[in-house]
């Protein structure tokens, strides 16, 4: 029995989206713990964990939170890439990966929005 079926998540894609938002939220809180001046990253982490909860429980409002996170993550990632491109390779790669994964899971969640209507 797979971990996704134990959690009662039907599709692997929705489980992957759930896992992405949980991991993104945890990473944001780890970064916040390193420097408490980065409150905006903590807010992104809170939104990510709430979106993961909404995906897990199939709440209707999850779509709107995921779309909000799409815009917040896009602006945050592009801002960081603009000001640090070429200076820190790990930051550049992580921001590009976060940006692409946010776009992918927003598109997937939007495409599967019928799941949240039942």
| pLDDT for position 116 | 75
- Tell whether the model's pLDDT for residue 95 goes beyond 70: yes
CA distance 11 to 9: 6
Domain boundaries in the chain? 3-107
Condensed to tens digits (0 to 9), the pLDDT of residues 42-86 reads 999 999 999 999 999 999 999 999 999 999 999 999 999 999 888
| pLDDT for position 118 | 63
pTM of the predicted model, to two decimals? 0.88
Specify the DSSP class assigned to residue 21.
H
User: Would you say 32 and 42 are in contact if contact means Cβ atoms under 8 Å apart?
Assistant: yes
CA distance 8 to 4: 6
């Amino acid at each position: 029995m797979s971990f996704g079926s134990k959690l009662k998540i039907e599709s692997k894609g929705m489980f992957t989206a759930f896992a992405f938002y949980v991991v993104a939220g945890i990473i944001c809180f780890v970064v916040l713990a390193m420097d408490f001046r980065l409150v905006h990253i903590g807010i992104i982490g809170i939104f990510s964990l709430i979106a993961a909860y909404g995906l897990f429980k199939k709440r209707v409002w999850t779509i709107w939170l995921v779309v909000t996170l799409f815009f917040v993550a896009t602006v945050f990632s592009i801002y960081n890439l603009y000001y640090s491109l070429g200076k820190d390779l790990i930051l550049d790669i992580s921001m590009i990966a976060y940006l692409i994964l946010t776009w992918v899971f927003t598109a997937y969640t939007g495409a599967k929005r019928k799941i949240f209507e039942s």
